[in-house]
A and B are shown apart, each in its own frame.
Chain A
Amino acid sequence: MAILAIGASGCDRTPTASKQEKGDASGPVTGGTWIVGSIGDASTLLPLLATDSASQDIIGLVFCSLLRYGPDYEVLGDAAERYEILDGGLRIRIHLRKNVRWHDGEPVTVDDLVFTRQVALDPKTPTPYRSSFEAISELRKVDAYTADYVYETTYAPALNDLVGAAGSILPRHLLEGKDLLTSPLQRNPVGCGPYRFRRWEAKREIELVANNDWHRGRPNIDRYVYRIIPDQATMFLELMNFGIDQMGLRPQQYARQTAAPRFRDNFRKFRYTGFNYTYLGYNLTRPLFQDIRVRRAIGHAIDREAILKGVNFGLGQVATGPYRPGMWYYKQVTADPAYDPGTAKDLLAAAGYTDHDGDGVIDRNGVPFKFEIVTNQGNLQRKQVAEIIQDSLRKLGIEVSIRIVEWSAFLEEFIYKKRFDAVILGWNTGIDPDQYDIWHSSRTGPREFNFVGYRNPEVDELLIAGRRTFDKEQRKAIYGRFQDILAWEQPYTFLYISDSLPAVHNRVRGIRLAEAGIMYNFEDWWIPRAQQGFHHKQ
């Protein structure tokens, strides 16, 4: 896989860490407990049903998947030993490892794969991942350990799907003929991953223990505890008090609260580009926003560096498109509107907007330039972004009002019904560059993701063409063109990408910061024997 640049925009800044690692001549040992703090509790521990990140964190350790990503997002085998792309991408042959076992000792076979797909396609199963299974037109069992995934047309995101949802494996011998939704496995899962489930106390903690028989070798750390602490400030105090070993820091905590000796002596903090971006999206069905010049003018008027600094303590990057810098398909676009209020003013004038009546608000044909930005409640950053944008646009004579609405009401009343002028929202981006659901003109219906109503025939073609080839160079060119068009047409003003900011106790070894962050090799982390009895001063 071609990696253009390391997207990790910073790295471990604690000088003591490497010195300590050198002192551990013994090499990796097993044992110890690792406690991770989480804001939210899991909701279900069965793949296919889980949608929240807490559930997925645990499922990722308890279950195995067909394929997985390596440190640089290269596709590697997990339950699958290897895969072959055949018939020009119409068939993907999966060879399962023969030593993969469920935690109750039963082998993982192709029957489990077939069963998982059946469950996912069953209309009674409420899974958001059905479409990834529907893309597979047939799943052919060749023998107990070999399967062919057959596609009607070449479908490049298929491999990504087989790492993610479509690569989930459910235990057929435990679930066949049972109702998934009332299955005790939801709260007491039997998986095939590096950790076995031990117990789950609702809203308190989830405990996992190392799986000695794991097919990729027993993980080093014995116990993994997922502790639910709903308040970020409390979580940080628990970290400082050694009640937990790892948490994701907020930008403010990373920038302001980690200078104390107690933190520097005991913890390492990491920083790498996240998989999310925040944007200002325009309702393109409103006449006001149908003129590219108007959208570009707003883009030129917004100082994204200042926003990043102001709301995110500079911990992130300015976004110029929907992709994460560092991914092989990311393109440094040139059409992105740079901060330049002068150009913004000229563009608005060219579009007919000047202050004809001298009331301080620009207007055209007697209609003043006013619009409303809507965003959801409970996200302080988005509110602050809205305020900064409001202020920047006021200087150009554009009157912006802000409305903050509770999430469910926000979706129901504003997004689904397309009753908004502009929104501030964020997307999590995937590993595959496919963006069909967000930008294709067929995806503008109610409850679909192209709710800004973006329509561009060339983009439609590109999005389909990008799905039709596995050739990385071709896809890179296709999605490069796509990024150029978005940067020029500005259906969104892409604002910024936040960094992921984990903090971990420095007694753990084996962390290798890579493109994929730090958690991808958790099985290899280890705790020196002398520090295994560490837990816990309470």
Chain B
Amino acid sequence: MTRYLIARLLGMIPMLIGISLLSFMIMQLAPGSPVEQAGAFMNAEASEQMGQTFRELYGLDRPLLEQYGDWLSRLVRLDFGLSMSLDRRPVLDKIVEALPLTVALNALSLLLVLALSIPIGVFSAARQQSIADRILTVIVFVGFSTPSFWLALLLMMLFGIQLGWLPVSWAGMPRLGEVSTWVWFQEAVRHSVLPVFCYSFGGLAVFSRYMRASMRDVLGTEFMTAARARGWSEWQAIWRHAFPNALLPLITLLGLSLPGLIGGSVILEQVFAIPGMGRLFWEAVMSRDYTLVMGVLTIGAVLTLIGNLLADIGYAVADPRIRHQQESTS
């Protein structure tokens, strides 16, 4: 197992280099550059000379591979470089500012999704084609297909303006230090209700349908027939025997959700005025802030690879069949 882990971790290195090289090249191929964003054009007072100043400042006047090598050698020392925007702040600072909020909101929504979609999936599978199953199916698919910004605005109008129960957006969130920790915590909860709901609503369908399908497969197996034959009640059989087996595919899904934790929803962050990763990345791409884009992409790539690894490990831990197979091959 240890050897397997080390092999997997080492295997990630060339993969990461490949991913970053590809991202770096694709990004530079896109028309435009950070120079335009600095106001060098469409501003009647700008000049070609200023564009040149910026290209030198950002190092964009050097060959592409040299720029990439430079970036990579800094990355090895965990230096993500300076943002290619006017403020020239370290990329890491910008990411660290945006990350906690996005991770917290995403983690909360993921928990909510799991808490709701697992029971929904199990129930739907056990009561297949019943009225309740159909109603649940309709609800989760409505959630899946509702445009999130539209739902968000409706909820903001209802709970923010009409009823006045919740804040409209994140914009009025007080700072820690401005108010006591307790008040700040309460405010954080109040400010999170609508975003977390909107983040989760769309995700319900995916997880609950997965759960339903995987539960259905398990329900048809022979050991379930055996369990029923031994006189277990239907629900006992489901929770004791079917459920652990049906959870296995969710491990993969969870592993794949890990990078999603740092990638905020651009649209919802925009609508709720949340200063998170989604907006950071979107704005970085739109303004061709190469270093910031690369920073976010790299962290995302690392997390994706780690997520895959964790999913594989989780699988091995949860499923003895896979564990034994691995042990016999390695």
Contacts and interface: CB of A to CB of B under 8 A. Distances in A.
Interface of A: 37, 43-44, 49-52, 123-132, 165, 181-182, 186-187, 201-205, 227-231, 233-234, 237-238, 240-241, 243-244, 262, 406-409, 411-413, 415, 427-428, 430, 437-438, 445, 447, 449, 536-538
Given A201-B175, A228-B171, A412 B31 contact: yes
Nearest to B58: A126
B41 A447 contact: yes
Interface stretch (B81-89, B114-122, B243-251): B81-89
A43 B272 contact: no
B160 to A, nearest CB: 6
Interface in B130-158: 149, 153, 156-157
A300 B98 CA distance: 52
B36 A123 contact: no
Contacts of A413: 31
A182 B88 contact: yes
Contact of B32 (A182, A228, A231, A407): A407
Given A128-B47, A241-B161, A409 B32 contact: yes
Interface of B: 30-33, 36-51, 53-54, 57, 85-89, 94, 97-98, 149, 153, 156-157, 160-161, 164, 167-169, 171-175, 187, 270-273, 275, 279-280, 286, 288
A128 B43 contact: yes
Given A204-B171, A234-B153, A241-B161, 13 more contacts: A51-B39, A52-B39, A126-B54, A127-B50, A130-B49, A131-B47, A205-B171, A233-B153, A234-B168, A406-B32, A408-B30, A412-B32, A536-B172
A128 B160 contact: no
A260 to B, nearest CB: 10
Contacts of B97: 202-203
B31 A227 contact: no
B45 A44 contact: no
A130 B97 CA distance: 34
A219 B98 CA distance: 34
Contacts of A229: 169, 171, 273
Contacts of A126: 38, 50, 53-54, 57
Given A128-B45, A241-B160, A430-B44, A231 B270 contact: yes
B36 A408 contact: yes
B273 A234 contact: yes
A127 B30 CA distance: 25
A237 B273 contact: no
A437 B172 CA distance: 43
Contacts of B173: 204
Given A229-B273, A237-B160, A408-B32, A165 B288 contact: no
Contacts of B43: 51, 128
A243 B33 contact: no
A131 B48 CA distance: 11
B198 to A, nearest CB: 13
Contact of A411 (B42, B157, B160): B42
Contact of B279 (A37, A230, A240): A230
B7 to A, nearest CB: 41
Contact of A181 (B88, B153, B288): B88
Nearest to A234: B169
A233 B156 CA distance: 10
Contacts of B171: 37, 204-205, 227-229, 234, 238, 243-244
A147 to B, nearest CB: 22
Contacts of A262: 161
Nearest to A233: B153
Contact of B40 (A37, A43, A128, A233): A128
A123 B41 contact: no
A231 B273 contact: yes
Contacts of A438: 44
Contacts of A445: 48
A243 B271 CA distance: 15
A427 B187 CA distance: 43
Contact of A131 (B45, B51, B87): B45
Contacts of B167: 241, 243, 538
A3 to B, nearest CB: 24
Contacts of B149: 231
B74 to A, nearest CB: 17
A226 to B, nearest CB: 11
A411 B161 contact: no
A321 B308 CA distance: 61
Contacts of B39: 51-52, 128
B288 A408 contact: yes
